[in-house]
């Protein structure tokens, strides 16, 4: 188990003067995506790396144990074995499987014998509008079911009102409830109104002990974007410089194409370095993304695109 973010005391002075220049952040994010062109075997290698960083996810109201089992089978073998062999890769899995708390036990059964962790959303996902004691109880329930990682949601109202100490205290209680499990803090950036709020919320979550900060639930009207991700990565860099600890990053919602997977990895490499391009520091929350990555890998290996029916995610 990787070491956990120990967090810090609440330090308002680390972020209270942050003001994000939104047009500048947008220009920087756009220029990074346009400047790096990955072709042929280099593109295939970066796409395979994206696969190993995917939290393969199902968070639907009609989830069943059978659906989760199919998703877990895909997580075990996300890319055709023959195509992996053609690329000189022996074995590849996704970074994790992410489900609701009531589906954790089914996922653990389906992944028995593998090292693939099961992540569970909790704390009243996606809105987080439940009493705190119930949100903490949901974390404990997911852990009792066998969850290895917990994706918590923050109270957006505390961000919008600038109640940073209250937000810190709340996330600290969630961190304590998670125990030894890795905790990912979902900021729901599409509901935080400004990039300045995104930066400040990122700092609070990390100070409170988040092992990852995550853009979105995937349920907001606007989910992961490159400018939002840039701001969060800069906060991660600041936190590393202040504490020496490397916090992970998870974009989620809105990443659907192989080009998206490449763009976010370029952003990670440019802003934080290649050390962050591994599953213990980078995850992609996705369900449909994998199919397009498979299509591109199939085209690289065979010269043609596979039919959609051959790439079902479960």
pLDDT of residue 257: 95
Domain count, the chain: 1
- Ordered mean pLDDT values, 10 residues apiece, the chain (314 residues): 86 97 94 75 94 97 97 97 94 97 98 98 97 98 98 98 98 98 98 98 98 96 95 98 97 94 95 95 94 94 73 55
Q: Which residue pairs from 264-270 have beta carbons closer than 8 angstroms and sit at least 24 positions apart in sequence?
A: 264/224, 264/226, 264/229, 265/46, 265/49, 265/50, 266/32, 266/33, 266/36, 266/38, 267/29, 267/32, 267/33, 267/226, 267/229, 267/230, 267/233, 268/233, 270/32, 270/36
- In this structure, is residue 159 part of a structural domain? yes
pLDDT of residue 32: 81
pLDDT of residue 309: 58
Rounded to the nearest 10 degrees, what angle do helices 195-207 and 164-178 cross at? 50
- In this structure, is residue 4 part of a structural domain? no
Task: Write the CATH number for 146.
Answer: 3.20.20.70
- In this structure, is residue 185 part of a structural domain? yes
- In this structure, is residue 145 part of a structural domain? yes
pLDDT of residue 1: 44
Give the separation between CA 237 and CA 235, rounded to whole angstroms: 5
Give, in order, the Cα–Cα distances in Å from 119 to each of 42, 106, 142, 147: 30, 12, 9, 6
- In this structure, is residue 104 part of a structural domain? yes
pLDDT of residue 37: 72
- Give the active site residues: 151, 214, 250
Q: Which domain holds residue 237?
A: 12-310
Cβ atoms of residues 101 and 123 within 8 Å: no
Strand-pairing partners, residue 282, are 249
- In this structure, is residue 248 part of a structural domain? yes
Phi, psi of 274 (to 5 degrees): -70, -20
- In this structure, is residue 53 part of a structural domain? yes
- In this structure, is residue 37 part of a structural domain? yes
């Amino acid at each position: 188990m990787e070491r956990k973010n120990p967090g810090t005391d609440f330090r308002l002075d680390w972020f209270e003067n942050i003001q994000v220049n939104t047009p500048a952040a947008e220009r920087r994010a756009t220029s990074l995506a346009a400047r790096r062109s990955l072709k042929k075997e280099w593109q295939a290698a970066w796409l395979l790396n994206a696969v190993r960083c995917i939290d393969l996810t199902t968070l639907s109201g009609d989830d069943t144990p059978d659906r989760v089992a199919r998703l877990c089978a895909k997580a075990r073998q996300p890319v055709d074995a023959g195509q992996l062999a053609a690329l000189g890769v022996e074995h590849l899995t996704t970074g994790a499987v992410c489900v609701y708390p009531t589906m954790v036990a089914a996922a653990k059964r389906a992944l028995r014998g593998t090292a693939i962790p099961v992540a569970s959303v909790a704390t009243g996902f996606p809105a987080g509008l439940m009493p705190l004691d119930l949100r903490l109880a949901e974390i404990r329930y997911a852990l009792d079911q066998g969850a290895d990682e917990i994706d918590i949601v923050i109270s957006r109202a505390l961000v919008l009102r600038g109640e940073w100490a209250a937000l810190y205290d709340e996330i600290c209680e969630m961190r304590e409830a998670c125990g030894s499990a890795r905790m990912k803090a979902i900021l729901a950036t599409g509901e935080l109104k400004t990039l300045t709020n995104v930066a400040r919320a990122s700092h609070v979550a990390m100070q409170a002990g988040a092992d990852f900060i995550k853009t979105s639930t995937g349920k907001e009207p606007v989910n992961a974007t490159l400018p939002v991700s840039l701001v969060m990565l800069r906060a991660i860099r600041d936190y590393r410089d202040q504490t020496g600890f490397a916090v992970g990053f998870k974009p989620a919602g809105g990443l659907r194409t192989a080009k998206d997977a490449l763009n976010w990895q370029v952003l990670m490499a440019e802003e934080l370095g290649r050390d962050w391009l591994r599953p213990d520091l980078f995850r992609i929350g996705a369900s449909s993304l994998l199919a397009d990555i498979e299509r591109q890998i199939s085209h690289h290996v065979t010269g043609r695109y596979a039919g959609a029916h051959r790439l079902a995610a479960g």
